[in-house]
Amino acid sequence: MARAQTSLSSTTATKKRKSTGDIDEGRAKQAKQPRRTLDTFFARQVPVSAAPDEETGKIEHVSLNDEQMRVLQMVVDEEKNVFFTGSAGTGKSLLLRAIIAALRKKHAKKPEVISVTASTGMAASNIGGVTIHSWGAVTPGMHDIEKLISFIKTCRPAHKRWKDTKVLIIDEVSMVDGNLW
Ligand SMILES: Nc1ncnc2c1ncn2[C@@H]1O[C@H](COP(=O)(O)OP(=O)(O)OP(=O)(O)O)[C@@H](O)[C@H]1O
């Protein structure tokens, strides 16, 4: 329900912006800001990496809810293998951006240990990453794992990425071939 309202208001804002200019542009900007409740006002703020359509370099700070914060801790502090999912609009993308920001901060001296990928180009561009296939020289449809590994070894940049990476993020992982992962 909340998600439906969010997309409805942003669609309306876009239409209005075309016809009436500055005032509605301001409203559209306001609508994009997350709402702050009393609880979130006192909660710990964490940085999130900027969404690709936002100004570059801008670091936004948000208050994660308890569940989001727990997942962030499991990934960043406890270094666990985590699969998180949820219904539309439950805050997965925002959490992922917070995780990426926290990992980049933690591994600031060795940025190559973090790889940000997704199963599709669209999902990858939303988090400032690349497709898992181009990142890892993974040939779609190649089901023979031994062959695939031999192929990856011939592709030096991809092979290096596989070896250097300590944290591999895959957004929309459910769309990745189940034989591979
Ligand atoms: N902790 C939070 N504080 C404030 N706003 C939040 C928080 N978590 C999520 N939101 C807001 O809720 C909206 C939906 O979040 P988000 O896009 O991350 O959900 P999602 O689960 O990725 O949705 P979808 O599956 O549809 O892509 C966004 O506007 C986001 O800014």
Using 50, 70 and 90 to split pLDDT, how confident is the model at 143? Answer: confident
Give, for ligand 1, the residue of 39, 93, 172 to mutate: max count of ligand atoms closer than 8 Å to Cβ.
93
User: How far is the centre of ligand 1, averaged over its atoms, from the C-alpha of 3 (Å)?
Assistant: 8
User: How far is the centre of ligand 1, averaged over its atoms, from the C-alpha of 42 (Å)?
Assistant: 19
Mean pLDDT of 142-158: 90
Q: Provide residues with CB under 6 Å of ligand 1.
A: 3, 6, 34, 40, 62-65, 68, 86, 88-94
Q: Atom of ligand 1 at shortest distance to CA of 6? A: 29
Measured by CA distance, the residue closest to atom 16 of ligand 1 is 91
DSSP H stretches of helix in 107-155: 121-126, 132-136, 145-154
- The span from the CA of 57 to the CA of 148, in Å, is 37
In sequence order, what are the beta bridge partners of 48?
60
User: How far is the centre of ligand 1, averaged over its atoms, from the C-alpha of 25 (Å)?
Assistant: 21
**Does the pTM exceed 0.90?**
no
Domain ranges (residues) in the chain: 38-106, 109-181
Tell me how far CA of residue 35 lies from CA of 2, 26, 59, 154, 175, in angstroms. Answer: 12, 16, 17, 50, 32
Q: How many Cα atoms occupy the beta-carbon half-sphere of 60 within 13 Å?
A: 19
Using 50, 70 and 90 to split pLDDT, how confident is the model at 33? Answer: low
| Per-residue pLDDT, 162 | 95
User: How far is the centre of ligand 1, averaged over its atoms, from the C-alpha of 157 (Å)?
Assistant: 34
- Whether 76 and 103 have beta carbons less than 8 Å apart is answered as yes
Does residue 169 register a pLDDT over 80?
A: yes
In this prediction the ipTM stands at 0.96
